[in-house]
Amino acid sequence: MHSFTTLPAAPGVGYKPQHYAEILAGAGPVGWLEIHAENYMGDGGRPLAQLRALAERFPISVHGVGLSIGGEGRLDAEHLARLKHLVGWLNPASFSEHLAWSTHDSAFLNDLLPLPYTNATLDRVVAHVDEVQDTLGRQMLLENPSSYLAFSESTWDEPDFLREIARRTGCGLLLDVNNVFVSATNLGFTPQAYIEGFALDQVGEIHLGGHDEDEDDHGAPLLIDSHGREVADPVWALLSHTLVRSGPKPLLIEWDTDVPAWPVLAEEARRAEEALARLAVAA
């Protein structure tokens, strides 16, 4: 199988099977695709056949949602083995996972749950990232979460916590600027300051997605990371703020619920392409 070794500094989209024919007929500005690892862990059938065909044409980013890297328990050895198998035969351009947990007492909760940022959780996440990278035999990227609450026991801020994980494990980082905007709104910090504190030289990929608006008990805005609509304007602005400091990066549009027709998704990718083009002009 043909292998693309890196993600290009171009727009990519989260792959949805309903877009298969249109992507193969001409993906427009889309230069690479991201898949959720767990959807391609069946034994065969259409999902794997489509993935093989797409991987001939596009660099693929494998994005895991089930490793529970922030979990208190040991990593699920069976799941790690499944991941090793997928990454082994596909040889994707990138593998990434989340700074979050999703499994406890062997129950998988299908959501990315938050952890406090302390020296103890830092040691645990570092050990888990080491184990993943040793098992897969490659560098992984770790993504910043979207947060709806904070832990009073936290002693690290998030950019420093991620920078320290990258320093100790050699992993790269996946910067989700929508998550930054959502967390900043929800927890009352300045998103630009977060970006300025982030280890941008470690960033291998940037995520963009849509969020919903709600309120907390006190009427304060509470943004929900829904991946169900267009990227919001302030998030595009935050992307530009980021790109000026980071230089061009692979930019992913995530749209996972109420998935739109292909032209709508391709238009979001075109906006990402414009953001990269403006950067080139400015340089």
Partner 1 sequence: MSQQAFHHALLDPARPVPDGLTDGAGHPAGRRYAVYRNNVAVSLTEALITGFPACAALLGADNMSRIAGRFLRQHPPASPLMIHWGAAFPAFLDGLDGLGRLPFLSDVARLELALRRAYHAADATPVAPDALLSIPEDRLGLARLRLAPSIQIVKSRWPVAEIRAYALGLGPAPTSGAQEIAVLRPDYDPEPHVLPPQGHAFLAALQANMPLAAAVTQCGPGFDPAPCLALLLGHGAITEILT
Judged by the rule CB under 8 A, the positions of this chain that interact with partner 1 are 38-39, 41-49, 65-68, 71-72, 76, 78-79, 82, 101-111, 113-116, 148-153, 186-189, 214, 216-218, 220, 222, 224
Instruction: Output 38 or 230, the one with its CB closest to partner 1.
Output: 38
* Residue 69, C-beta contacts closer than 8 angstroms, at least 6 positions apart: 75, 97, 98, 99, 100, 101, 125, 128, 129, 132, 142
Q: State the SS3 of 207-254.
A: EEECCEEEECCCCCEEEECCCCCCCCHHHHHHHHHHHHHHCCCCEEEE
Is 186 or 202 the residue whose CB approaches partner 1 more closely? 186
Q: Rounded to the nearest whole angstrom, what is the least distance from the CB of residue 18 to partner 1 in the complex?
A: 13
Tokens of 257: 């619920």
Name the residue type at position 67. L
Q: How far is the CB of 109 from partner 1 (least distance, A)?
A: 5
Task: Give the nearest distance from C-beta 274 to partner 1 in angstroms.
Answer: 32
Nearer to partner 1, 40 or 248 (CB): 40
Bridge partners of 176, per DSSP, are 207
Min dist. Cβ of residue 267 to partner 1 (A): 26
Cβ-based nearer residue to partner 1, 109 or 277? 109
Quick one: which H or E segment has residue 33?
A: strand 32-36
Measured from the CB of residue 121, what is the shortest distance to partner 1 in angstroms? 10
Could you give the CA distance from residue 141 to residue 99 in angstroms, rounded to a whole number? 10
Residue with smaller CB distance to partner 1, 5 or 106? 106
